[in-house]
Structure formats: structure tokens, C-alpha cells
Amino acid sequence: MPQTFVIAQGGGPTAVINQTMVGAALEARRRHPGCRVLGARFGVRGIRDGDYVDLSLQPEDALLRIAATPSAALGSTRDKPDAAYCELILQGLREVDADAFIYIGGNDTSGTQAILRDAAGSSIAFVHAPKTIDNDLVDNDHTPGFISAGEFVASAFLSVDLDFRALPGIYCGIVMGRHAGFLTAASAAWRLDDESGPHLIYVPERAFERARFVDDIKRTMARHGRCIVALSEGITSPSGKSLVEELTTHDRLEYDAHGNVKLSGTDLAHAIEHILAEDLKGKRARVDTFGYLPRGNIGMINEVDAREAFEAGRFAIEVAAQGGGSVALQEQGGETVLRKVPLENVAGKTRHMPADFLQPDENQLSENGYHYLARLLPRRYEPGMPFV
Amino acid sequence: MPQTFVIAQGGGPTAVINQTMVGAALEARRRHPGCRVLGARFGVRGIRDGDYVDLSLQPEDALLRIAATPSAALGSTRDKPDAAYCELILQGLREVDADAFIYIGGNDTSGTQAILRDAAGSSIAFVHAPKTIDNDLVDNDHTPGFISAGEFVASAFLSVDLDFRALPGIYCGIVMGRHAGFLTAASAAWRLDDESGPHLIYVPERAFERARFVDDIKRTMARHGRCIVALSEGITSPSGKSLVEELTTHDRLEYDAHGNVKLSGTDLAHAIEHILAEDLKGKRARVDTFGYLPRGNIGMINEVDAREAFEAGRFAIEVAAQGGGSVALQEQGGETVLRKVPLENVAGKTRHMPADFLQPDENQLSENGYHYLARLLPRRYEPGMPFV
């Protein structure tokens, strides 16, 4: 009987998650001629509901075009299956005689795989392939999707800094990131010199204090005549609460099914605008929410990111042959290598940005932070220096 | 005595305003060997204060690198000179023996030139060279800066639509534009098919009604399972007030020196989120403010836009030789041609998006709208179609 591979995509889309899906599908077809490759629509929902696209039947050139397209072509889901839901997924996998299930996603997705594996016994290989713009997977040097998103953020902040050299003022750009600050830190990867923005970086890993924030901006304005700020959506107050929760009027707060406050860039933007209007009166200020813009822009897909994502998908088929596990991107001598790591190393855990990526006494990248980002996000543009 | 050209940049920066500045500087040097080309820092402020960079001394390759850099390399200003300020500018121009003053900007900038010309008499040639992402200059088919900004917006909405095919919900992207909807309409230039977002477009030229907005979204959700919305910052209520003014609590409103309410994308985003939370309860919704991101992104500078901006700068020197006026980009047989038009045709006026660019009964582009945008913004990407 031919082998059957089930592939699904979970969590927030990225610029290159389709590379991983297509890499896995084509590698399965190459190594196992005649195999079935079923793409489940909308993540594990498709398995539960028997809703598949047969990737075995897709022409290779059509798949390669999909690979180069951002967002999850199979659809995605944010479902976190409970025990009963897991049983339905396992039933679904058995109904199609699945030999392996490859689930592409972040730490929630790998958590689902660990639970399914424990519930299923050993008949099916459960594989997690990494994907997240947050770059927050344990055991990974970086994750597919981060480089493209990081380039968007680096390019945007380089450009906004040039804009504010021409018309000085305060700019705050709010960048996705609930628990990890990597993507927000990428804002500083392409600073031109010590005078360049972003001048201040606020990430979830370091408590945000209003008085300190206002002082930081005042000092930067005095020094450079402008102030460019990058803030993570998930920045927290010293009490550990998300800033949105702390600053938003309570009738506006929304909670998800898990009781987590819904992080809205808009609420944070509004709160930040309020702080600037109160404490920095009369200064020209602008707050923008990048939101979904960096995570899958068709105009900014990084080639290294795309290639690594494709190779991670191919390697997932090797991990399936080895009985399952999580595909990890690790660093060795400056090169990215793929390794198999246990699902439980990644499942449900968050890799925070190391504290030493920021300067101890300033909200700016440290040498370590620059070094890490320069390896992943080498500067792509060398603009001429303005005359002001 | 050698000729002296003064060049300045006004208003919001764009991706290609430096092309125009460098085009003018190099053309002046080519046509008038030995001439002086003075770049005024921060617009007319630099003339008032005698603050110049000598562009005659800059090596050509350095200037060409500046040309390829977004934002205004000389600095810019939003000053609207009154009679006394104008007198100081004229004094400044006379102090450097200016033969021509080329001011690159939008309708406010051309307005300044018209006032200066009337006050100066005929000794100096006053030239306006066009620039604005708003695309709202009378007598112009389109304006330098619009194509690059439009591509950013088109690419972003194409990408966000792919994102929401994978994880359905409501998305509102708020795009700059106080009086003209061209840039917001560009969101639909790269729709893949009738099913694609943005599904709804709201521009300043058509009154925004909350009930209609909510109905539009409900109908789109029923039809497509997702709803992608593009809104201009300057959308107005049926009473003619800006929506920000209508919807924002009054202690939060800010006014500029002219008594205009300060348009903040964040305030509008907050108001829109509020509408969605109240009238479309339980739907996944996200609102982002694009803000300054489209107007000068170093990663998305369109080559046609860059070339046209450079040629507009060169042509400004010809217009100076003819005694002054405004450079206009006009269309002739599908090609862009440069013409001289009177300053007063452009000065202080707004070209609105024609009403027939939208369908009469739907907030979507009409054939006319698509036709216009397709000429300026041919689709750059052909993504694979998702499986969902």
C-alpha cells in the first residue's frame, strides 16, 4: 500500500509558509513515488472534517508558484484542540490511513503535535515544521518567516527615519509580538549610523514604564531633533500586565476564549498617542500600527528565508521517516543547518529575545543584538545621506 | 555673472522627490555651465535663514545616489508663509542673486510660488515641480510619488487579502488621504478576481455612513466569508465633517494653526474598531493604520515613478528659462508628457478622484477606476491561487 502524508498549516500566515508546505509535498513525492499527499484545509479542522486537497495530483509548476505566494494556501486555524477534538483528529488521520502528519506552525502547533502523538501511540509519525514571524521557537536559531518580516520592519524604520529627518517630530511604530521582541528589534537592523532611528526600542522582555518612556523621548529629541520609536504590541508594565490592559479603559477590553486580553495594536496606539499628547505637549507626533503588513508582503519575500523554508519542508519528510519530531533551524559556523529535535523541546514554549540583545541602560540594540540581526538581515540598501 | 538656481522641497516627503531635486540640479549644471545651484534646507525656511547646501559642488554620482533615496534630502517644511514671511523669502532670494527658484511639492507649495511671484515682480522665475502621494494636483494626470506609494498600498492589500483567505475575518486598513481618494483606491489595483479584497473602499469624495458601512461588511462577509476594507484617513460624514471629528470624544481632538482638525489614523482606527465591536459583535476584526509607511519605502520605489520624477526636475529648468510656471505630468496616447501650466492652475486647489472611478451603488472601483489605475500600476505579481 502506498504511503499517505497529511500536511496542514497552523497559526498566523507568513511570507514563506507555502514554501515549507510545497517542499514537504514535493519531497514526499520524490522519495515515495506513488504516495498520497493530502493537504488539510484550515489546519486540523480539515482533518477533523475530511476536507483535503490532493497535493499528489497538483503539477509541480503549480505547486512552485504557490510556494512563492505568501500566506497559508491550505488555510490556517487558531484552534487549540482539547482531548475530544484530538480524538476527532486522530480518527480523521486513521480514516485516510495517514502514515505521517506534518503540521507547519509555531509553538502552539508543535504543542498540538505532541498531544496527538501521545494520544495516538506509535502508528503515525507526527512532525512539526517551524514557522513564525515572532522567531520565538526554542531550540531554533531563527524561524522561517522571520527574515522576510524582519526585512519589512527594518526597511520601514530606515525609511521612516529618512522621512523624519526631513520633517522632524516623534514617530512610534507598533510591531507585532506578544511575548518575544525579535521582530521589533529588527527595526534597528538597518540603522545607518549612531544618529539614525529607531532611537528607542521597547520589547515585551523589558518592562515598560511611562515616565522612563517620556524621558527617553525627551532626551532623544534634545540630542537628534527627532525621535523614532519601535514598540512591540505585547509590551508589559512593571506589574507584568500587558500595557494595553493597563492603559485601556476597561469597557473596551476584549478577551479571548483562554481569558487572555486581546492585543490590539490600535488600543496600544491610542494609549501611546494619549501619553505623547499629555506629557510631550505641542510636539509633532505620529503613531502607526504595522499590524499584519510585515507578515506576508508579496513585495518583500527574502530569498534566503524562502529557501530555508522550502528545505525545512523537505527535511520534515526525513523526520517523518525517523518516526517524527520537530524540524529545527540551527546555526553552525555561520550557516543554517536543519536538525531533528524532540517535539516537547518546542511545544508550547516561548523563546524570548536574550536580555543582552539590548543595552542594559538604554532601549537600543547591544553589540550582541546587532551581531545576531546582521547575520540574518544583512543590509539591502545603502541610501545617500540627506543634507540635513 | 553666472546664473543662480535655488531649489527647495516642501510638504510630505515621497519615494522620489529627491529624483526631482537631482534632475533639476544636474540639468541646470548641464545647460548653464558654471551656474550656482543652491539647495535650501527645510524648504523656504532655508531661504529665509540663508541655510543652503551648494549642489553645484556635489559630485554627480553622489547626487544620483541621493536621487535614489526616499524622503526629502534637503529637509522639508509645512510652513505656509504669510505676507511678512514672503518678504523675508524674497529678501533671501535677492541676497543670493537668485535667477530662478524651483520649489518641489504639492498644491500648498505651488500656492507659495504663486504668492511669491506676485510679490516679487518679474526678476526671478518661480517654478513649481509636482510631488505628492495624494495624486491631487489639478492639470496633472498623476503626480510623482503616487505610483510608488500606490504600489505599496496595492501590494499590501493583495497580501492582506491572501492572509485573510487563510484566517477569515474583517480587516480595515487606513490609508493617508485628506481630500483625495486615489491612494486608497490603489488598494484595489491588484485584485486577483471578483472574489478578492479589498471588497470595500471608502474615500473622502463619498460620504461615509455608519449604517451603510456595517451593512456593506455584513453583506461581504455573507458572500466571501471575509471582508477587506480600505479607508482614507479623510473620510467624511454626510454632514461634511471629517469622520475623526464626528466620532472622536472631544477632549481628544487636536487642531492645527489653521483650525483644521488634526487627522490621526489612530483616532479613526479606534473609532472604526469601536463600530466593529458594537455592530459586528464576535467577528474577528483587525484595524491597521498604514500612516507614513507607503510614502517613501526604500524597498518599493517604482522605476517609472523615479524616472518621471527625475524628468520633471529637468523640465523645471526649461520652465525657468521660459520665465516660470508649474510642471505638469499629462497623458497623451497612453504616454506621460511634461507640460508647463500656469501656477494658478495648480496653486491651492485639490483634484478629487472622479466620481465615476467608483461604482455608483457599491464601494468598489468602476471600470474607469480600474482602467486608470492599471495604466499607472500594472500588476507586478501573479501569485498562485490558494486552495481555500
Q: Are residues B121 and B23 in the same domain?
A: yes
pLDDT greater than 80 at residue B83: yes
Q: Are residues A282 and A152 in the same domain?
A: yes
Sign of the C-alpha dihedral, residues B213, B218, B219, B224? positive
Binding-site residues of A for substrate:
132-134, 176-178, 233, 292-295
| Residue A384 domain flag | no
Q: Are residues B340 and B201 in the same domain?
A: no
pLDDT along chain A (388 residues), means of 10: 92 97 98 97 98 97 98 96 94 97 96 94 92 97 98 98 97 94 98 96 95 96 97 90 69 56 77 90 92 96 98 98 97 96 95 97 96 97 95
| Residue B117 domain flag | yes
Is A74 in Cβ contact with B387 (below 8 Å)?
yes
B11: left (phi over 0), alpha (psi -120 to 50) or beta: left
- Any CB–CB contact under 8 A between A39 and chain B? yes
A vs B, Cβ pairs < 8 A, gives 230
Q: Are residues B308 and B251 in the same domain?
A: no
B169-187 confidence digits (pLDDT tens): 999 999 999 899 999 999 9
Contacts of B158 in chain A (CB under 8 A): 298
Q: Are residues A44 and A122 in the same domain?
A: yes
Q: Are residues A33 and A58 in the same domain?
A: yes
Q: Are residues B22 and B141 in the same domain?
A: yes
Nearest CA in chain B to A302: B299
Nearest CA in chain B to A62: B384
| Residue A368 domain flag | yes
Residue-level pLDDT at A250: 52
| Residue B382 domain flag | no
Grid cell locating B282: 464576535
Q: Which of residues 317-376 of A touch B (CB under 8 A)?
A: none
Q: Which of A57, A69, A71, A133 to mutate to test the interface with B (most CBs of B within 10 A)?
A: A71
Residue-level pLDDT at A261: 62
| Residue A65 domain flag | yes
Q: Are residues A357 and A342 in the same domain?
A: no
- Domain containing A323 — which CATH number? 3.40.50.450
**Cα–Cα distance measured from residue B195 to residue B216, given in angstroms and rounded to the nearest whole number:** 15
Q: What DSSP state is assigned to residue B242?
A: B
**Residue (of A187, A186, A185) closest to A205 by Cα position:** A185
- Any CB–CB contact under 8 A between B20 and chain A? no
Binding-site residues of B:
12, 107, 132-134, 176-178, 233, 292-295
Enzyme catalytic residues of B: 134
| Residue A385 domain flag | no
pLDDT greater than 70 at residue B252: no
- Domain containing B361 — which CATH number? 3.40.50.460
Residue range B324-334: average pLDDT?
Answer: 96
Residue among B12, B163, B165 minimizing CB distance to A292: B163
pLDDT greater than 60 at residue B260: no
Q: Are residues A186 and A247 in the same domain?
A: yes
- Any CB–CB contact under 8 A between B162 and chain A? yes
Query: pLDDT-derived band of residue B239, with 50, 70 and 90 as boundaries?
Result: confident
Residue-level pLDDT at A266: 85
Binding-site residues of B for substrate:
132-134, 176-178, 233, 292-295
Q: What DSSP state is assigned to residue B241?
A: S
Query: pLDDT-derived band of residue B11, with 50, 70 and 90 as boundaries?
Result: very high
Residue-level pLDDT at B241: 80
Helices (H), chain A: 17-31, 44-49, 60-67, 83-95, 107-120, 146-166, 182-185, 210-224, 243-247, 265-279, 303-321, 343-346, 367-376
Residue-level pLDDT at B114: 95
**Cα–Cα distance measured from residue B319 to residue B343, given in angstroms and rounded to the nearest whole number:** 11
- Any CB–CB contact under 8 A between B273 and chain A? yes
Q: Are residues B64 and B11 in the same domain?
A: yes
**Cα–Cα distance measured from residue A285 to residue A230, given in angstroms and rounded to the nearest whole number:** 14
- Any CB–CB contact under 8 A between B96 and chain A? no
**Cα–Cα distance measured from residue A196 to residue A365, given in angstroms and rounded to the nearest whole number:** 12
| Residue A239 domain flag | yes
Is B167 in Cβ contact with A12 (below 8 Å)?
yes
Helices (H), B100-173: 107-120, 146-166
Grid cell locating B345: 492652475
**Cα–Cα distance measured from residue A364 to residue B355, given in angstroms and rounded to the nearest whole number:** 48
Residues 6+ away with beta carbon under 8 Å from A210: A275, A279
Q: Are residues A304 and A329 in the same domain?
A: yes
Domain count, chain B: 2
* End-to-end Cα separation, chain B, in angstroms: 71
**Cα–Cα distance measured from residue B339 to residue B318, given in angstroms and rounded to the nearest whole number:** 10
Residue-level pLDDT at B383: 96
- Which range marks the domain in which residue B206 is found? 150-296+352-376
**Cα–Cα distance measured from residue A9 to residue A39, given in angstroms and rounded to the nearest whole number:** 9
